[in-house]
Structure 1
Amino acid sequence: MDILPLCKMAATLCGKFLLRQGWLPLAHCVRHGSKAVTRHRKPMHFLKQKIMAVTEYIPPKPLPSQRRVAPRVKPNLEENGLFVLLKKEVAAMFQECKMITVVHNSAMTAEDMLLLRHRLRKHGLTIRFFPNVVMRAYLAGSQYSNLEPLFIGQTVLIVSKEPKVKEMLQTLRSTPQMVLMGARIENALLSQQGLLSYSKLPSLATVQGQVVSGLTLQTSQTAAMLQRHPAQLSALLQQYLKQKAEEAAPGATEGGPKAEATAAV
């Protein structure tokens, strides 16, 4: 017996009677059909893959532009009179000054530079300006050639006849535009960290005082050790003579009366 017509008839009757009363059916018969999936791609055959790989288009590499600008060649600088004069001034500065510091100027205004000069001059420090070409030309043939890479861009030299690293660092602490690069102090090349370590060392007068006090203490100890044995020897000899004199004195006093009594008998 087919059930589908009975279900349809029951649904029709329920729909007529229930709709009149304002009710809805408790269940509906819904038929779900299968969905056809037709978008699955089939894998390409390996022979076709090989043919596609062999026949793949490879675009040619673009040719270099014919209008490319040639690199600029720096002209050879001729040593004119001003160049030679500046080079002599640099040589004289390296001979007279014991401290030469290379500082990078990072967009410092003229007013700030004037104030910095005034502060440095209080400690006996001077700011010097030389072209980088002149400095590199001098350093290339000198024993300080390792300073040559520091002269790039706007550079300033802070020089003094005596090494005053501590005063210079205290002055540059208030000007962040001046970046310390390196220095030459008494024929020794120092980096930024080396300058910081050098500033923590005691002054020359303090070191000389420590050396003199140490030498004085050593000489006094040596003199005391040399005088100790003769003094001890003389003290022992004096004690020995004193003991001998004390031993001889009672015998002499006792022997005198005995000798007189014997002579009288």
Structure 2
Amino acid sequence: MATIIPKSLPLVRTVTPALQFLRFRGKINIQRPKEPHYERARVIAVTQPKYPEPPKAVTCFRTRAQRTQHQLDNPYNEIIAREVRNWLDHSKLVAIFHLNSITADEVFRVRVQLYKQNLHLKSYGRKIIGQAVEGTRYEAILPLFHSNHCIIFSPDQQKISALLKITRKVPQMVLLGGIVEETMLSRNELMAYAQMPSLQAAQAQLVQTLNQAAGHLVQQLQTHQNNFVQVLDVHAKGENKKESAVDETQEKL
């Protein structure tokens, strides 16, 4: 046996494994990973957790109109609606504009110019406007609020000339109509109203006309009396001249 097994070779041979690193050829897609093997997919499907379905509320069986009905009962909307109603009740001039595409900076500049003339630019949603004017005498203005809009309030109805002068420089604001002293006016009627004189000027013209009529009537009534007085005055002066002439002649004699 000694001659069969060489002495230079060990009895137990150890083998050292060789490691070789290989790079994956394809690029791993994280968003769309490769589907797992069929057996693994079955295991994943079986081990998938299942949660009980939450019970459905009563609102899930309501219609869209019934679900949105509660939005009208919003306390904040009621506060804003009362504010709109207060503006309508205490404003002698209300102008409604259709608002086209406009930047916030331009709206701010227009609001500042209007505020200097005691004109207040406001903007509200159509639901709030409807809630504010429903069942009131202002309900006729509701069809003007189907699109983007803005409202201008003023306690002085004579500011309509300044309003038209300022908004004429802003083509994005289109005048639709307004309310002047609780009277609904169209765009043409508002422009015609702006060309009318102020209330004080109209009152002064009326007083002047009445005074002229009264003075003319008094003048006509006193015409005959004045003529009679003038005739008597001339006659009296003629008599005085005759008497003075007689006196002079007597003195000479």
1 CA distance for matches of 2:176 and 2:116? 23
Tell me how far 1:120 sits from its aligned partner: 1.1
1 CA distance for matches of 2:134 and 2:171? 30
Q: What SS is found at the alignment partner of 1:73?
A: helix
1:183 alignment partner, one of 178, 182, 185: 178
* Residue 159, structure 1, aligned to residue 153, structure 2: yes
2 CA distance for matches of 1:94 and 1:237? 69
* Residue 121, structure 1, aligned to residue 115, structure 2: yes
Count of matched residue pairs: 185
Tell me how far 1:245 sits from its aligned partner: 7.7
2 CA distance for matches of 1:144 and 1:85? 18
* Residue 223, structure 1, aligned to residue 218, structure 2: yes
Q: What SS is found at the alignment partner of 2:156?
A: coil
Tell me how far 1:241 sits from its aligned partner: 5.8
Within a 5 Å distance, the mapping from 1:1-265 to structure 2 comes to 72-73=64-65, 75-76=68-69, 77-163=71-157, 164-239=159-234
Q: What SS is found at the alignment partner of 2:171?
A: coil
Structure 2 unaligned spans of 5+: 1-62, 247-253
Tell me how far 1:72 sits from its aligned partner: 5.0
Q: Deviations over 1:167-224 (max 9, x none)?
A: 1111111111111111011111111122222222222233223222222222222222
More deviation, 172-181/209-218: 209-218
1 CA distance for matches of 2:176 and 2:108? 21
Q: What SS is found at the alignment partner of 2:150?
A: strand
Q: What SS is found at the alignment partner of 2:185?
A: strand
Tell me how far 1:81 sits from its aligned partner: 2.1
Please say which structure displays the higher CA radius of gyration. Answer: 1
Could you say what the CA RMSD is over the residues aligned between the two structures, in angstroms?
Answer: 2.9
When normalised by structure 1's length, the TM-score is: 0.60
1 CA distance for matches of 2:236 and 2:100? 88
Aligned to 2:28: none
2 CA distance for matches of 1:176 and 1:169? 11
Instruction: Supply the AA of the counterpart residue of 1:173.
Output: R
When normalised by structure 2's length, the TM-score is: 0.63
Identity of matched residues, %: 25
CA contact (8 A) 2:99 2:150 kept: yes
Q: Deviations over 1:5-50 (max 9, x none)?
A: xxxxxxxxxxxxxxxxxxxxxxxxxxxxxxxxxxxxxxxxxxxxxx
